[in-house]
Amino acid sequence: MAKNDPIERALDRLGQLRHAEPTEAVTEELRGLLRNRSNLVIAKAATIVRELRIIALMPEMVSAFKKFIADGSRLDKRCAALTEITSALYELDYDEPEPYLDGIKHVQLEGSYGPPVDEGAKLRAVSAQGLLRTRHLDALSEVVQLLVDREPAARIGAVRALAVNGGEAGVLLLRLKVLTGDTEPAVLAECFAGLLAASPEKSVAFVAKYIDASDESTAEAVMLALGESRLPAAYEVLREKWDRTVLMPEKKVLLVAMAASKLDEAIAFLVSLVESASMPIAAAAVKDLAIYRHNERVSKSVRAAVVTRKERALVVQFEQDFQS
Domain boundaries, the chain: 166-245, 262-324
Cα dihedral across residues 13, 15, 21, 23: positive or negative: positive
What does the DSSP 8-state code read for residue 57? Answer: G
pLDDT at residue 310, rounded to an integer: 87
pLDDT at residue 113, rounded to an integer: 83
pLDDT at residue 319, rounded to an integer: 93
Which amino acid appears at position 100 of this protein?
Answer: Y
Torsions phi, psi for 322 (to 5 deg): -100, -20
pLDDT at residue 2, rounded to an integer: 53
pTM value is: 0.90
H helical segments located in the chain: 6-17, 24-33, 39-52, 58-70, 72-75, 80-91, 98-104, 121-131, 139-146, 152-165, 167-180, 185-198, 200-208, 216-229, 232-243, 248-261, 264-276, 279-289, 296-309, 312-323
Which amino acid appears at position 289 of this protein?
Answer: L
In order along the chain (324 residues), what is the average pLDDT of each group of 10 residues?
Answer: 79 94 96 96 98 97 97 95 98 97 96 89 98 96 97 97 96 97 95 97 97 96 98 98 96 98 97 95 96 95 93 92 83
